Structure 1
Amino acid sequence: MTGRPVTTTLWRPTGPAELGLVRELRWRAWPPRLPEQPIFYPVLNEDYAIRIARDWNVERDGASFVTRFEVDSAFLSRYPVRQAGGRTILELWVPAEDLDAFNAHIVGRIQVVHEFR
């Protein structure tokens, strides 16, 4: 019997432009990184994603969104968890060249769970 793989929930603070590209990809993938973005970094907890979206991105972009999505846990094990500040400020650093493989391991759809303006 084959079932759904074990997944890890990730969050990503997302600006309006990136969210538009995710919509074009039918909520199933993240767009390629820009040349000045060598790393794709989803975060491991919702509170951290909310803080980035609400406290940093709204001022820059006028709006920001927190997305939630599931990724095959076995695939994610190749990326170490990075502590970007306090003990709950955790990120995965996915090299831009790995993004196609990362996207192929998203289970289900990317969902918008918070919006800030």
Structure 2
Amino acid sequence: MTGPKVTTTLWRPTGPEELDLVRELDWRAWPPRLPEQPIFYPVLDEDYAIKIAREWNVRHSGAGFVTRFEVGSEFLRRYPVRQVGGRTILELWVPAEELDEFNAHIVGEIQVVHTFR
């Protein structure tokens, strides 16, 4: 008998265009990357996601959103944590060609937890 699946909480700052695509995917997957986006990078710290959504997405898209979602922890072991700044500025770098497999390991729905305009 197995217990509930162990998951890791991830956050993703996003703009309105990407959020519309997530909505079209029934809140269960991230859309394919554009050619100029070779990696998908969810973040491990909510405050870092808020900073990006507030400072970058709002300026470039007029709105910024922070999403929260769960991914199977065992699956995530293949992606080393990347520290891209201070000690809480942590990301996972998922190659664009692996995004379908990544999406298959999302547990539950992607949720919007913060909105900035």
Q: Which amino acid is the alignment partner of residue 102 of structure 1?
A: F
Partner of 2:21: 21
State yes or no: 1:81 paired with 2:81.
Answer: yes
TM-score, structure 2 normalization: 0.98
For structure 1, the 5+ residue unaligned runs are none
DSSP 3-state at the match of 1:60: helix
Offset, 1:3: 3.5
Partner of 1:110: 110
- Matched length: 117
For structure 2, the 5+ residue unaligned runs are none
Partner of 1:92: 92
Offset, 1:55: 1.1
Partner of 1:62: 62
Q: Which amino acid is the alignment partner of residue 5 of structure 2?
A: P
Partners of 1:87 and 1:2 lie apart in 2 by 35
* RMSD of Structure 2 on Structure 1 (CA): 0.6
State yes or no: 1:44 paired with 2:51.
Answer: no
Offset, 1:2: 3.3
Q: Which amino acid is the alignment partner of residue 39 of structure 1?
A: I
Work out the percentage of aligned pairs sharing the same amino acid.
83
Runs of 4+ more than 3 Å apart: none
TM-score, structure 1 normalization: 0.98
